[in-house]
Structure 1
Amino acid sequence: MFIVAVFYGRTYLFEFAGIDDEANLQGNPLITGSVGLAEAWVRPFLHLYIPVSYSFWRALALVLGGIKPAGFHLANATLHGLNAGVVFLLLRRWQPALTRAAASVGALAFAVHPLQVESVAWVSSARDLLATFWSLIALLLYVYPDHKQRRFTLAFATVAFCLALLSKPTAVVTPLIAAVLIVRRLWQRPYRDTLLLWSLMAVAAAALSAHLQPAVENPFVVPWHQRPALVLAALGFYAQKLAWPIGLSADYGLTPVKIMRSVPLLATGTIFAIAALRSVGLRLFVIGLLPTLGFVPFFYQAISAVADRYTYIAMLGPGLLMAMWWRRGPQLHWVLTATVIVWACLSALQMDHWASRIAVARRMVATNAESWFGYFNWGSALLEQGDGEAARHYLEASIRIRPWFPDSHYNLALADVASNDLSGAEEHLRANLHFGGANASALIWLGHVLALQGKYDDADPFFRRGLSLDPTHAGGRLHFARMLRAQGRSDEALEQLDLVGPSGLTDLHYHTLRGELLLAKGEAAKAIEAYEQALVLGAHDAATYANLGVAYLRTRDYLRAEEVLQKAIARDPYKPEALHSMGLVYEATGRKDEAIAVWTTASGQGFQPAITALRRIRLTKPKGQEFRR
């Protein structure tokens, strides 16, 4: 267990892979804490009801003080090490005749096969690790319970199985694995009754999962009469990768239609299925794959009908097979040991392809030139790094391969905005809405892009529709308020800011905009509060200090006004607004020469209020002095 955890420990240095990590973690209110954890147990999220996994991630984020990749990767490596340890115990309990060496080889085969790398190195796959952990605990208690407390042991096994289902519904295969492991004892009532209960629980979990993941979202659903071919072809693929784990990737591009056309995979799958009838280990491998072989459609089939992570619990079968072969004699020991070492070396190399989001995407494209998903992730990663021009190349490649994928259009629109190509951004945002349906972010961004082009009447309905879908979208409220201010609708702009939720209150732009609107409305005291809060949040730019100076000037707090205006001028010595306001402070406090000096500087930049003030003060007759003809 410790060896396995250490072996995968270098993933501690890896970044998030980007494949759903944003949605599952950073963008998941159940993990970030923006909603109560009880929500995870009440309703599904992202078409999955997996409250145990969400609770695990939430607890991990609290312990780490945030969603940090190092801690989450370390948790995955630890879970995988625990699973390897439980596999060792399960093999020993299932076959007491197995030596420690045999069970160790079996556990290591389960742990270090290259097919397992994706499940460990991809943070979001902690769901698979947790579900397998609880399934293995359930099997450990079920296979050989304490006969003195058999009922209690089987009850605990049932609780563990329930936790497995609530971690990820792919644990539905656990009853079948249990039946294979204790086939000779199924007639005994405690085992039979427990297995019946587990089967009912599995059926309920499968029905719930099918209900939450509607097949209409998957454009690659195949007819029922073709699914046996899909299952055999997928099984053939996994059999090949089990025996020859080379060229592994997160995107094989093998959609159901493509994989069914492969005669070699169909032949391999058929042979493997026949062999599984005679081998317990191969039979367990097939059973572990059942939820994702293609009998039931699932959303990822739109990208690939096969994926390494689907083999995670299935690798119990090859592990058991390796342990059984160890018993055949010393002549096989060297072969099995060498096999495990080769697998470990290949896994070490495979881990490098999961070091970062770009590394994952690069591997996708290298193994599948038509990987629109790889190009999308590559471009998205570059966009996050601020390299919009480089991102554009990969996002456009993704769209060429799959033009109807809405997220590629959305991210390309963001790249267009960054390069000030507003017409291009508008085109891609409209494409996003066309292919993906209404979503708040795209609607709000389209409103913002239209507003930047001065198309206020066109932008207004998009803002309102987007904010009706997501009333808590603080950025949308701010952009909408800015547009309303540009239209001279300050009162409506303030109403939008009043609707900003708690997350927006920590945005300095919210407070600076609020200050501007209140200042324009003549409510200087409230504007001061807004600007002071903006300063607390880090708004130390010249414009904020200049506007705050104006607010203090209007309340006749000349001392404070002079103090903040000096900070504005220190940051921008030629900012005309700050210079003009400073001149008003000097004039109000009787320092005419200083007022003339700063107004002269501002006038040199063509700032009309300063020019007017300069003319006025020069025409003012000093006390006790008369004009002479």
Structure 2
Amino acid sequence: MSTTVREAGRWPISGAFALILMATLVAYFPALTGDFLWDDAGHVTHPSLQSWSGLGRIWFEVGATQQYYPLLHTAFWIEHRLWGDATTGYHLVNVLWHATSACLLIAFLRRLAIPGALLAGLVFALHPVAVESVAWIAEQKNTLSTVFYLTAALAWLRFEDDRRPGRYAVASLWFLAALLTKTVTATLPAALLVVAWWRHGRMSWRGEVRPLLPWFGAGLGAGLVTAHLEATQIGASGADFALGGIERVLLAGRVVWFYLGKLLWPADLTFFYPRWTIDATIAWQWLFPMAALLLLAALVWWRRRDRAPLAAALLFGGTLFPVLGFVNVYPFVFSYVADHFQYLASIGMIAFLTAGATRGFARLAWPRWSGPALAAAVLMILGTLTWRQSGQYRDVFALYESTLARNPSSWAAHLNLGTAWDDAGEPEKALPHLQQALALKPGRPETLNTLGNVLNRLGRASEALPLLEQAVRLQPRFAAAHNTHGAALMTLGRADDGIAAFRRALDLNPKLTPARVNLGWALGNQGRVAEAVAQFEQAHRLQPELADVEFKWALILALHDRVAEALPHFERAVALQPDNPEARHALGRALLAFGRNAEAAAHFQEALRVAPQHAGARAGLERLGRRHPNAP
């Protein structure tokens, strides 16, 4: 690898970027056309934020987005205006940011004269622990914030050269950009102090500490805002987070070793890892923090000979600090560890390991070609693992089925897979996964609601009702559960109770469009057409592209002999959802009322193309004296 070091020094940064970008695109090719996953919808710009005023809300309205990361959501806002909901654009941008971070890492290591810089950049670019951050659209907060983090670090080194105020201001702006993208980057000033100590053997109050105090203050403020939103807006509170101080120490020790292990041996990576039971009465759990403390003590002792190992450990553990368990983050509900949590922290450890390998190999009397050959072999293995791992992110079914193959006890994977099957119109396939999710994690309102919804779809409202009653009892402000509860009540003939449940859902969340549509449908079926239309109008303002609004609006009007008013809504419903056979059939019937027989026949035929057994469409064609082309 000594040859690798010399060759790395000759590579211009543009050449390194071209190499890394090409390698990264190949490694992530299986994910480039991947669908939206899990909470991508909470990050890709919501319809209510897609306007210029929405961009203002992103910056000035806390709560308009899932977390207050305005620069991240500005990037998503721009991307949505460029390619809308086409996922390939988002994936390519994530790969671009990841490759850019790898090149910035190379530049940073070269600036510090650390050997193996090119190798470190390639390892970071191709390491499979990064797949969760790069292949998952929502984790653009990782890839983009790391670009700002490393740019700020480089700008800080330039400031250290001559202490010019302008360079300090530039570095500070890059750091602020990182904080406004993801607050794990608040660890940067501490990391810069570690780097300064590694370089000089000391930290100067005037040279390093004092100039970084404003950065520490900004990072602390951003962290407090994020922690508050995690607890109050996202849900990082309650029994799932009830760990005492001792348990959190045990957890932190285990988390550090877990991430180091996955970095060194990236086997069995998965989206949801098993959630550990942390128990101070179990003796072996103390081994993790004790081993960490012993290693840290040994590195402190060794620092007189070489400060690099201690610096690497401090960088790794310090960057991981926000996710060690001392601060509650919502994903702890599912697991205490996740690959995307160590994306940023992996940089320092990769740099240390590749530099150590480069120096160590240089001392061996092996042929000159063996170093590059061994490095290429390692990179090929990492790239192959990344290629295989990124294929799991092509759609929700691949992701959660692969997760369950490695972690069958993941209630979250069962819940999300069941939800995906329900969304795909396959409630029969959703049911066993949702039942298993409830068995693994009893009493979780989200699972009770989703299972109740599936039972409603399957015509088993009497079984759904007690589950939904439990959901709203456990979480009285769960608007979606009140809506599903109302649907079950309506099916069971309790219309007044159902309407009350829909109104309760809307009191809690006036923007919950499905509840507004259901309320309009219920009112319309009671003959309260004016009230129903008012609900549909509000639903349309909230989600103008939702076909269900137009379809049910049209049906209510048609049921009350207002077919002329219903017709444009039927047409709009079909335009929004061309493969809905019910909408096609209803539009055909409305057209018949106006003698537009040829158009009606065309819609009946389209309905039968999608659903060949659709009795209503077939009857419509027979009424017109026509046969479906595929009819026997």
Same fold, judged at TM 0.5 (above)? yes
**1:306 paired residue number:** 337
**1:287 paired residue number:** 318
Change (3 A) 1:234 1:427: same
Change (3 A) 1:493 1:226: closer
Task: Please give the alpha-carbon distance, in whole angstroms, between the structure 2 residues aligned to 1:19 and 1:543.
Answer: 33
Change (3 A) 1:16 1:408: farther
On the 8 A contact 1:109/1:318 being kept in 2, the answer is: no
Counterpart of 1:192 (choices 198, 204, 209) is 209
Q: Secondary structure at the match of 2:95?
A: helix
Q: Secondary structure at the match of 2:168?
A: helix
1:263, CA displacement in angstroms?
A: 5.0
Counterpart of 1:206 (choices 203, 218, 223) is 223
User: What are the within-5 Å matches in structure 2 for residues 11-22 of structure 1?
Assistant: 11-16=30-35, 18-22=37-41
User: What are the within-5 Å matches in structure 2 for residues 225-374 of structure 1?
Assistant: 225-255=246-276, 257=278, 262=285, 265-274=288-297, 277=300, 278=303, 279=309, 280-325=311-356, 326-328=358-360, 330-331=362-363, 333=371, 338-374=377-413
Scaled by the length of structure 2, the TM-score of the pair is 0.80
Task: Please give the alpha-carbon distance, in whole angstroms, between the structure 1 residues aligned to 2:163 and 2:134.
Answer: 35
Counterpart of 1:140 (choices 154, 158, 161) is 154
Q: Match of 1:199, as an amino acid?
A: F
**1:80 paired residue number:** 98
1:259-304: CA deviation from partner (whole Å, max 9, x where unpaired): 9863554454344444554412232111221111112222221211
**1:609 paired residue number:** none
User: What are the within-5 Å matches in structure 2 for residues 498-577 of structure 1?
Assistant: 498-503=537-542, 506-507=545-546, 510-511=549-550, 514=553, 528-538=564-574, 541-547=584-590, 550=593, 561=594, 563-564=595-596, 567-568=599-600
**1:90 paired residue number:** 108
State yes or no: 1:63 paired with 2:82: yes
On the 8 A contact 1:19/1:377 being kept in 2, the answer is: yes
1:515, CA displacement in angstroms?
A: 5.4
Q: Match of 1:216, as an amino acid?
A: S
1:105-153: CA deviation from partner (whole Å, max 9, x where unpaired): 1222322222222111221111111221111111111123384673211
Q: Match of 1:92, as an amino acid?
A: R
Task: Please give the alpha-carbon distance, in whole angstroms, between the structure 1 residues aligned to 2:349 and 2:535.
Answer: 60
Of the structure 1 ranges 50-59 and 432-441, higher mean CA displacement relative to structure 2 is found in 432-441
Counterpart of 1:126 (choices 140, 151, 171) is 140
Task: Please give the alpha-carbon distance, in whole angstroms, between the structure 2 residues aligned to 1:512 and 1:232.
Answer: 56
1:337-386: CA deviation from partner (whole Å, max 9, x where unpaired): 55444333333333233332222212322222311112122222222322
Task: Please give the alpha-carbon distance, in whole angstroms, between the structure 1 residues aligned to 2:602 and 2:543.
Answer: 29
1:412, CA displacement in angstroms?
A: 2.0
Q: Which runs of 5+ in 2 are unaligned?
A: 1-16, 304-308, 365-370, 576-582, 606-613, 618-622, 626-632
Task: Please give the alpha-carbon distance, in whole angstroms, between the structure 1 residues aligned to 2:238 and 2:50.
Answer: 27
Scaled by the length of structure 1, the TM-score of the pair is 0.80
1:567, CA displacement in angstroms?
A: 4.5
Change (3 A) 1:212 1:520: closer
The CA RMSD measured in Å over matched residues stands at 3.4
Change (3 A) 1:4 1:258: farther
State yes or no: 1:112 paired with 2:112: no
Q: Match of 2:292, as an amino acid?
A: G
Q: Secondary structure at the match of 2:442?
A: coil
**1:25 paired residue number:** 44
On the 8 A contact 1:541/1:571 being kept in 2, the answer is: yes
Change (3 A) 1:491 1:323: closer
Change (3 A) 1:35 1:8: farther
Change (3 A) 1:127 1:437: farther
Of the structure 1 ranges 456-465 and 186-195, higher mean CA displacement relative to structure 2 is found in 186-195
Task: Please give the alpha-carbon distance, in whole angstroms, between the structure 2 residues aligned to 1:509 and 1:131.
Answer: 38
On the 8 A contact 2:591/2:600 being kept in 1, the answer is: no
1:452, CA displacement in angstroms?
A: 2.5
Higher relative contact order, structure no. (Cα contacts within 8 Å, ≥ 6 residues apart): 2
Q: Match of 1:385, as an amino acid?
A: A
Q: Secondary structure at the match of 2:345?
A: helix
Change (3 A) 1:508 1:338: closer
Q: Secondary structure at the match of 1:538?
A: helix
Q: Match of 1:182, as an amino acid?
A: A
1:427-480: CA deviation from partner (whole Å, max 9, x where unpaired): 333333234432333222322232232211221210111122333444333322
1:74, CA displacement in angstroms?
A: 1.2
Q: Which runs of 5+ in 1 are unaligned?
A: 551-560, 579-597, 602-629
1:501-554: CA deviation from partner (whole Å, max 9, x where unpaired): 4245555654565556557777x6xx524413532553774544544665xxxx
